[in-house]
Amino acid sequence: MSWRDGNEIALLRSGTEYFPALLAAIAGARSEIFLESYLYEPDATGRQVTARLMRAARRGVRVQMLLDGFGARLLPTRLRENLLRAGVRLLFFRPEYSRFSLNRQRLRRMHRKIALIDGRLGFVGGINILDDIDEPGLAPRYDYALQIRGPLLIDLHQILVSQWRYSCWSQLKREWHRLPKPPQPEPHPGNVTAQLIRRDNLRHRRAIEAAYLEAIEAAHHEIVIANAYFLPGLSLRHAILAAARRGVKVVILLQGRIDHALLHYATRVLYRPLLAAGVEIHEYRAGFMHAKVAVIDHKWLTVGSSNIDPFSLLTAREANVVAMDFTLAQALRQDIQRHIEQDAVPITAEHGRRTRWWQRALPWLAYQLVRGLLGLTGYGRREYRE
């Protein structure tokens, strides 16, 4: 999709800022709501969003809600029935009919986190519909989203409608397939130039990866990446190493707590070559990190749902916004830096040497297992051949 000028984009930091903005937008909806989410929990946050969506549907707003068939497979039946009775159109992307199927298509999930209200106010980011608190005593989950007004919403509406119609067609919901033309977004509410980038399994298989590669290869001064699940393939890995070796400052903030153990340990295989090239690595330890963002040369930034790992880059449907704006980029960069200084620990070359032999072997074994699984599925053979 092309770059669009004249957008107003605000950075939302974690659920603390995102959910009040989303709930207010739903409450003010007049004609149409689209909501996509990978996870949707029946906790306090999920109940609030559900109540607002049902109220909107009862007052005549057309509410289209698409959840992932794996991520939200445990959504209680009673909650589903309440939504449908209220008039919410609820669908699941690739519903899970068999938990033990070996079909590799099960890996193709809908990982996007998007909302669009009346075609005039949009949200794109990495925040699912669930409470920010993972465990007592930990900081709220660390994540980002963008609130958007302006021409970029034309593209956002396009990908939402396309995915919605595909799901309606595949699940025989013909009566939900027809959608009226949405109101046009405000023509120039701001001055941010931005692009919506999607990753799918059709014409946009490598779109998000290509955006990262282009920006990293063009970097002159600084690359700052904050990504919860970081296991880049060879192309991205070589681009990051090449940038560091030509003198670009590269700072990477990663998840420090074990969330998904296999990916957690496999990522650590990359520490030694990255550190040797001069890359700064920090691990976020205050709580669980879910961010998927980057800032390059103080002006290019991306916020979205895509991790830099095989799942996001090779199989899942994702959506990221890329923007060129100094003010927005600085706000994101400063917030990442704040978390690095307050909530993270630096990783040095000595870090691995102080561990026991089996702890040093575990990352290598995890990485080989990831490669083996990718080989079995047929995904990533070229990018993860080393």
- Please write the tens of the pLDDT for every residue from 158-191: 999 999 999 999 999 989 988 988 788 989 999 9
- Please write the tens of the pLDDT for every residue from 229-247: 999 999 999 999 999 999 9
| Cα 258 from Cα 94, distance rounded (Å) | 28
- Please write the tens of the pLDDT for every residue from 363-381: 889 988 988 888 777 777 6
Residue 102 pLDDT greater than 70, yes or no: no
Q: Which positions are annotated as active-site residues?
A: 111, 113, 118, 290, 292, 297
Q: Higher pLDDT residue, 285 or 311?
A: 285
* Most confident option among 280-284, 308-312, 354-358: 280-284
Bridge partners of residue 362, in order along the sequence: none
Percent of the chain topping pLDDT 90: 78
**Taking a C-beta distance cutoff of 8 angstroms, is the pair 154, 121 a contact?**
no
Q: Higher pLDDT residue, 18 or 359?
A: 18
63 phi/psi in degrees, rounded to 5: -110, 115
- pLDDT, residue 105, reads 59
Q: Is 169 helix (H, G, I), strand (E, B) or coil?
A: helix
Fold category of 4-190 in CATH: Endonuclease; Chain A (3.30.870)
Torsion of CA 336, 341, 344, 349, to 10 degrees: 110
pTM: 0.94
Fold category of 196-377 in CATH: Endonuclease; Chain A (3.30.870)
Domain layout of the chain by residue ranges = 4-190, 196-377
Average pLDDT (287-307) is: 97
| Cα 272 from Cα 264, distance rounded (Å) | 15
- pLDDT, residue 193, reads 98
